[in-house]
Amino acid sequence: MEVFAQFGYRRASMDQVAEAAGLTRQAVYHHFGSKEALFHAAVEALHDGAYEAAAAAGAATEQAGKPLADVLASQIDAKFRYIIECLEETAHVEELLSERQHQTRDLNQRFHEQAVALQVATIERCCQREQLALRDGMTAADLARSIQFAIRGYNDLRLDITALGELTAVIKLIVQGATMPLERRARSISRSRPRHRQPSGKPARSSRHLRSSP
């Protein structure tokens, strides 16, 4: 990935990769039959590293006793920060983005499912720890998908580290708006239930009696 970042996809060669890795050209081809296969593996490794960074950051924030919004925001921050720092020296953003969209489309669904699964587990665990409930019948998967939709506009290859603060602020707002204390939800449900009048124990007056009453 360092070679691709330095030279771009088209100018990068297997010889350059072999030299950077301290291997022979034949050794590189033994593991990756083509530059396309190598690029595919490099993108996969980059996102796997970002996932691990997100999981570790979230775990550390959770262990520190921070609320759910902070835990999820730390996961997003760590994911994007990892990718940005790996590629911060590149001048070939557009080319690498184009090649990634063209060559690694098959990986996108796996990356998405991994991110959603991590967030769902985090939401369920933190909601239980913090005694939180999700609003309006929302599930943990619904909230995770909402977060993924919100960050879709923040392209990881174009995003500047200085913009991460705005991104994490958006995540926190989404989470805070989607959650409420469990006790408040229980009170809200109780108030929304129809109240039935209890019988007074007195015999009902007949309609004839009611008509004859002054």
Q: Is residue 98 part of a domain?
A: no
Residue 31 lies in a domain: no
∠ CA 155-158-164 to the nearest 5 degrees?
A: 75
pLDDT tens track for 74-125: 999 999 999 888 887 788 988 998 899 899 989 988 999 999 999 999 999 9
Residue 178 lies in a domain: yes
Per-residue tokens: 113:
């499912």
Q: Over the stretch 20-38, which tens digit does the pLDDT of each residue have?
A: 999 999 999 999 999 999 9
Q: How many residues does the chain have?
A: 214
- Residue 204 falls within a domain, yes or no? no
Radius of gyration of the chain (CA): 28
Which CATH number goes with the domain that contains 120? 1.10.357
Asked whether residue 146 is assigned to any structural domain, the reply reads yes
15: left (phi over 0), alpha (psi -120 to 50) or beta: alpha
Number of Cβ atoms within 10 Å of the Cβ of 144: 21
Indicate the pTM of the whole model.
0.80
Overall domain count for the chain:
1
In a domain, 48, yes or no: yes
- How far is Cα 173 from Cα 67, in angstroms, rounded to an integer? 13
